[in-house]
Amino acid sequence: MEELNLDPYFIERAKGRRGGRLNAYETLIPAKTALIVVDMQDYFVTEGMPSYTKRAAEIAPNINRLAVAMRAAGGCVVWIQTEAPPDPDDWANRAEATEPAKWASRQELLAKDGAGFPIAPQCEVAPEDHVAIKLRYSAFIPYPSELSNLLEAKGIDTLLITGVATSTCCESTARDASMWDYRTIMVEDGNADVSEALHRNTLGKFLIAFGDVQTTDQLIARLGKAAGTASAAE
């Protein structure tokens, strides 16, 4: 079994909670599974942008591979985009805590016609994929959100969380998903953050307290096995 690149403390705590097994969710039903790609937008992926995260572009190939496997297995892919709406009172407490010029820049770049809003070109979006807009760190706020409505309509019960940043929007979305009773898996090499320490500690805490952490290769293998089993049963 592929080992996670996490602090041994988290690995041992997770195994201790699960009777020796590491992963919370060892099987997938593709038709009930969605790949959630959080904020892989120019604002976060493109060098020179205010929230540029260097590792974001590096995880794009893994996200693309997982998306291909998800579509082939019969699951769905949802690309999450953060929007800063034109309402000057939107997210007032966050605006108050931010230097005005920086907030104005965010409002401009993450408007729907802003330079930071588009999904980054490294990401391979297919025509059958879905897009859901979010206004906060979590894609589930306000509830019901575009994402939650979509998932409910499609009968989804399992989410694979990828994107940027691990410790902010990805974690916020993943924790809320867990609280709303989704089987939630954060993809170790499909998330990125500004530092390796933030990335690893976020995933470690999620593994022991909220859901599961698996690698791209692990999940592609599980999707392939599930799709093969389904084909054999037909």
**Residues identified as active-site:** 39, 134, 169
What does the alpha-carbon distance between residue 76 and residue 37 come to, in Å, rounded to a whole number? 11
| Region for residue 74 given its phi and psi (left: phi exceeds 0; alpha: psi -120 to 50; beta: otherwise) | left
SS (H, E, C) 73-134: HCCEEEEEEECCCCCCCCCHHHHHCCCHHHHHHHHHHCCCCCCCCCECCCCCCCCCCEEEEE
| Region for residue 206 given its phi and psi (left: phi exceeds 0; alpha: psi -120 to 50; beta: otherwise) | alpha
Distance of CA 13 to the CA centre of its chain: 23
What does the alpha-carbon distance between residue 207 and residue 27 come to, in Å, rounded to a whole number? 16
